[in-house]
Structure 1
Amino acid sequence: MALYRRVSGSVALITLQNPPVNALSAAVRQGIVDTVQRALSDPEVKSVVVCGQNGKFCGGADIKEFGGPMSGPPLVPMIHTLESGHKPVVAAIEGIAFGGGLELALGCHYRIAHSKARLGLPEVTLGLLPAAGGTQRLPRLIGVPAALDLITTGRHVTATEALKLGIVDQVTDHNTVEVAVKFAQSVAGQSVEAHRLSTRPCPSPPDLDALFEGAMQKVRQSARGAIAPVACVQAVRAAATLPYPQGMERERELMATLFSSGQARALQYCFFAQRAVGKWSLPSGARWDMSEARPVRKAAVIGLGTMGRGITVALAQTGVSVVAVETQERQLAEAKQAVSGMLERGAQRRGAAPPPGLVHYSSNLQAAAEADLVIEAVFEDMALKENVFQQLSAVCKPGTLLCTNTSGLDVDRLASHTRNPQLVVGMHFFAPAHVMKLLEVVCGPRSSPEAVATAMHLGKKMGKVSVAVGNCPGFVGNRMLKPYLEQASFLLEEGATPELVDQALEEFGMAMGLFRMSDLSGLDVGWRVRKEAGQTGPNVPPGQPERMRQGRRYSPLADFICERGRFGQKTGRGWYQYDKPGARVARSDPWLHSFLEEYRAQRGLVARRIDHQEVLERCFYALINEGFRILDEGVAAGPEDIDAIYVFGYGWPRHRGGPMFYAGMVGLAVVLERLEHYHQAHPDVPYLEPCSLLRKLVAAGSPPIQKWREVIKRLRSQL
């Protein structure tokens, strides 16, 4: 709804009321229509101010209305009525003006923003475009290049940047509504014709075709197959080349196509999935947000390699005091320099000063004694971590939470080396830890609700998407990654090349092909883990062929590559070759192709033609099948948790929703049939056998993903 009252005698103040962000629900839109009509027809009213209650202007459309038929007044004619009126209308922007909220402000004749307000058109992140005139009015206001940047990326701008761009007329540190009312009084009676954006010509640079060609090339490269950014460019082009009415019609047509697309459904699912995992529901069904998180004023990070440095920066940027401990003096000196540089660069990006004096360094574990929470980030070696946890348990005060940044080791085993195993949880960050959004919070069987709640809350404070997962080898993300990686190696044995596999995955929309990703991460990391697990070289059981381990197919390809000192980018050679160690550009390597031919010939393997479809099915369906096993075992609370992990931690394209959502889009029956086909063709790969939960979901009629939790719960209760 919208509240109407007259202030200062001649100013109509219209206040949007729909907590928490005053979204433009049907009731709010109806309220705006009614109050604007009242203001325009009241002879005592000379000007109008539109604001939002509780310090927030408007968060845009009500996304909950997207699922069904729209009711209430449409947004486009509502904004047009506001703009076409003869009385000046001023938007008083506090807090946020996003999406439809900014479009509403663009329909006003003047815009005044508080200095702490943020503005943006984020529709593209939901697979849509700003379809209430945003793609037509914004270019007319700030020019085509700036409008393209904001609309195709969905990024938010500060009030200061908005003023510089020309989106707002004034920025204030004072009460925005009061400033806007005074401004409205000062322009009362003046013509608003020049301030109607729909009647302005769109400023067109002389090289318009080249500009749009470059913009289209840029979004196609960064969008990884997403169609919304491309539609945004087309809509802005309409603003630059067509009269306003035809431009609006083009905007409407493009929006209609996007609105009904599978990509929009996937992106909106991602939006709600991120909220769902934030509710901290655990695989067991327990709700840890019912427990109060402890305050973390002082933290310690043990081990200052790549991960430890990133975690230190992430904590300091949150305002937490950090003791960074590294026992190797040389590594400690390098870490000091690296952390300082990362904090400075981060501060420059945010336009703020780096946090002063929050990071303290030590080479002695005793420095962690007074920390409220400790994050161990030493090398991924169980014996080393056990030793660190024993020492921490002796050094730290009794109530200190002890967290491990392991990517797959047994959290409960580490907890058993402490005095208070209930205070031990996993905090699995993703590199680079100060940048990547994902945090897997691993709950051991003895982890207390309070410990989990504290880790989850700290992750949220650091700006992470925190997902609670159960304790098993690899947890959720890395456990699912294992069959995905293995299938890619098997495809090389059968005739594929790293280039073919990576091209198929990248065309699908993955941020990086699997072999390019392996080269970036370092092949030696996985090799070390396999050696420790007795899965390489001389540990092959007597009488078993080299390509079998524990009765199942195994590819030693990655081991052989590592044995030749090819660890990826760090050595300048891996699955690809690089101009020099540390270089980023992957080039096809003739040596590797010859090596693959020799490898197959020595083992009697006949190369065959493998197409992109087989690459996608073998890699993704194996990964998805493991996801169903994880759900079946209760290691993840629901499919949204798995999808959030893959979107925010593993480069899965948002416009495809996540692996479990993708399975639903393809059709669970299709996934089941293809898995049965591949398991029949490769009976020595047991994880290709379809999971019983997948079979049960198909038997239950393949319900939509939002219903899977109910089905899983019902199946468990039947057991």
Structure 2
Amino acid sequence: MSVHYQRHGDIGVIQIANPPVNALGQGVRSGLVNALKEGIADTDAKALVVLADGRTFIAGADIREFGKPPQAPLLPDVITHLEACPKPLIAALHGTALGGGLEVALGCHYRIALAGTRVGLPEVKLGLLPGAGGTQRLPRLVGVERALEMITSGRFVEAEEALEAGIIDAISDAKTPLEAGLAAAQEVLADAQTPRITGQLPAPAADSQAITKTLEHLNQQSPELFSPFRIVEAIQACVDAESLEAGLRRERELFLACMDSPQRAGLIHLFFAARSPHLVPDVEKASAFKHVALIGEHPLFVRLQKAAQKAGISLTSAPDEATELCLLAPNAPRDSGKARPVIALEEIGAGSDSASSKDSALSLIIAENGHIAELINVSAEPLIQQRAALTLKALRLNIVVSQQKSMLRAMHAATQQAPTSERQSALEQLSVNMAKQGFCYRESDLDLLAVEAFGYPRHLGGPHRQATLSTAAKDV
């Protein structure tokens, strides 16, 4: 069972257990409704607490449901049930409360968060807007200007800012969400804290200046995007609607318009592309190397060193007996001792392979903007490439694995040679050719590299996807 109910003294606890991030799948949604009914019917429970197991509260929607027909109960209906609870309903937050997770919390009557909690409504990054009351309830708490900024950017908000803004009611120094939630419930029952039913708060004051400023910013920064402008419309509806219910209806209309947008499909394609670009197909039970030598000097090494301790990886400036993997800066002297895997680091703008890379089984190409890197398998066993990729990922480097030749190098050359107006089409043609030649393990890897390293429009989903769609349209 994804959600269960249990009473602690005179406090009923609704506990979500849907690892790893307590995503709001259909089982969790129906479980919340059933557990809420149980809590309301429990005459010995004077207040109810909603919390989650594991390392986080609810981190958003269940990605396994993306693209599938929605199943009842829909999240807006679940939150309507929560908000209508006749008993004080406390949300105890920890980790992250994102997207639908924050919307669930906004449907509760009081929000307490453990230190370090982050909240946010990042749906805009998937070409959507919050579709379960986020554009209607958040402005009632924080006003139009802050709601516009938060939702159109999709940024995460730290607990301290969330408290100052009124999104949460308190930060707890308790060790667990259960301790924090029970303590908050007792304070509410003792009238030491006052719960607020968000949907019953007055609509925020009109702020035409904030609306105008946001629209100007969006038209300057991302005029081609669809969902940010619909977010502005939804928040304006929060101001203008005659009731919460009317505002929610307008939000739902705008949410469904975003769902129908081609941009949403492109952004979700990239979302999935970014989940597994470091995985080598058909390699299982691989683990990161724990002892790595960084040979030579390079700015990247400074970044890796900062992440090493948290990753549990030992880094040295020269190989020793414990060394399992070497990473060579361009033109650094190669270790001629014990045979061990070597990654040759290469500069994206260099005209040809560095001397140190010619006999290396693996090459690492760093994008000029530093956002992403490509780990190419020249002649290594697949398991070695996978272990190396896991090592670099543990060191906080965004990695795409590939084989034979560098996709980053080819894309860089194509963008340098093509006129600015033709760079998108050059990347599209190149991505089709590289996929045919088998450079990539997954065609989506081409899309991810083009977007993150070369600024291909994110909402289009990447050049290979776009080229494929164009070909399909011509064939119809």
Same fold, TM exceeding 0.5?
Answer: yes
Residue 486 of structure 1 is matched in structure 2 by 417
Query: What residue number does 1:659 align with?
Result: 463
Shift in alpha-carbon separation, 1:479–1:431, aligned structure 2, 3 A: closer
Equivalent residue, structure 2, for 1:295? 290
When normalised by structure 1's length, the TM-score is: 0.61
Q: Aligned match of 1:313 in 293, 302, 307?
A: 302
Contact kept, 8 Å, 1:119 with 1:157, in 2: the verdict is yes
Q: Kindly indicate whether residue 363 of structure 2 is the aligned counterpart of residue 426 of structure 1.
A: yes
Distance verdict in 2 for CA 1:397–1:218, change over 3 Å: farther
SS of corresponding position for 1:277: coil
Query: Quick one: structure 1 residues 31 and 154, their matched pair in 2 at CA, closer, same or farther if it must change by over 3 Å?
Result: same
Q: Residues 14 and 148 of structure 1: is their aligned pair in 2 closer, same or farther, counting only changes over 3 Å? A: same
User: Does residue 1:368 correspond to 2:318, yes or no?
Assistant: yes
The CA deviation at 1:411 is 6.4
CA offset digits 1:562-587 (Å, max 9, x no partner) = xxxxxxxxxxxxxxxxxxxxxxxxxx
Residue aligning to 2:435: 631
In terms of fraction of residues, the more helix-rich structure is: 1
Within 5 Å, which residues of 2 pair with 1:30-45?
30-45=30-45
Change beyond 3 A, Cα 1:426–1:369: same
Q: Is the contact made by 1:411 and 1:426 (CA closer than 8 Å) also made in structure 2?
A: no
Any gaps of 5 or more consecutive residues in structure 2? none
Asked if structure 1 preserves the Cα contact closer than 8 Å seen for 2:278 and 2:386, the reply is no
State whether residues 642 and 660 of structure 1, in contact with CA within 8 Å, keep that contact through their aligned partners in structure 2: yes
Aligned to 1:84: 84
Paired AA for residue 313 in structure 1: V
Q: Distance in 1 between matches of 2:346 and 2:198?
A: 53
Q: Report the CA distance shift for 1:410/1:469 in structure 2 as closer, same or farther (over 3 A).
A: farther
Partner of 1:267: 267
The residue that corresponds to 2:400 in the other structure is 467
Q: Using the TM superposition, give the Cα deviation of residue 41 of structure 1 relative to its aligned residue in structure 2, in angstroms.
A: 2.5
Q: Which residue of 1 aligns with 2:143?
A: 143
Partner of 1:54: 54
- 1:401 aligned to 2:339? no
CA distances 1:619-653 after superposition (whole Å, capped 9, x unpaired): 43443222222112211112111011111111112
Larger Rg: 1 or 2?
1
In structure 2, relative to structure 1, the CA distance for the partners of 1:117 and 1:191 (3 Å cut) is closer
Equivalent position SS for 1:204: coil
8 Å contact from structure 1 (residues 441, 456) kept in 2: yes
Q: Which has the higher contact order (CA 8 A, sep 6+)?
A: 2
- CA distance in 2 between counterparts of 1:262 and 1:463 reads 32
Q: CA deviation at 1:450?
A: 4.5
Q: Which structure 1 residue ranges, 5 or more long, are not aligned?
A: 282-286, 322-357, 361-366, 379-384, 489-513, 515-614, 671-697, 702-719
- In the TM superposition, 1:311-460 aligns within 5 A as 311-319=300-308, 368-370=318-320, 373-378=325-330, 385=331, 388=332, 391-394=333-336, 398-399=339-340, 401-407=342-348, 414=356, 417=359, 421=360, 424-433=361-370, 436=371, 438-444=372-378, 446-460=379-393
Residue of structure 2 in register with 1:226 after alignment: 225
SS in 2 for 1:119: strand
Question: Separation in 2 of the partners of 1:125 and 1:4?
Answer: 32
2 CA distance for matches of 1:33 and 1:250? Answer: 24
Q: Contact 1:279/1:289 (CA < 8 Å) preserved in 2?
A: no
The 2-side partners of 1:623 and 1:56 are apart by 39
| Offset of residue 406 of structure 1 | 3.8
How far does the alpha carbon of each residue in 1:493-537 deviate from its partner, in whole angstroms, 9 at most, with x for none? xxxxxxxxxxxxxxxxxxxxx4xxxxxxxxxxxxxxxxxxxxxxx
Cα offset for 1:196? 0.9
Residues 1:659 and 1:447: Cα distance change in structure 2 (over 3 Å): same
Q: Which residue pairs with 1:154 in the alignment?
A: 154
The C-alpha deviation readout for 1:669-694, integer Å capped at 9, x for no partner, is 64xxxxxxxxxxxxxxxxxxxxxxxx
The answer for the alignment partner of 1:183 in structure 2 is 184
Closer, same or farther: CA 237–313 of 1 in aligned 2, 3 Å: farther
2:7 matched residue in structure 1? 7
TM-score, normalization: structure 2? Answer: 0.89
- Residues 144 and 205, structure 2, Cα contact 8 Å, conserved in 1: yes
Task: Indicate the residue corresponding to 1:246 in structure 2.
Answer: 246
% same residue: 31
Q: Where does 1:515-664 land on structure 2 (aligned, <5 Å)?
A: 615-616=421-422, 619-664=423-468
Provide the secondary structure at the position in 2 that maps to 1:427.
strand
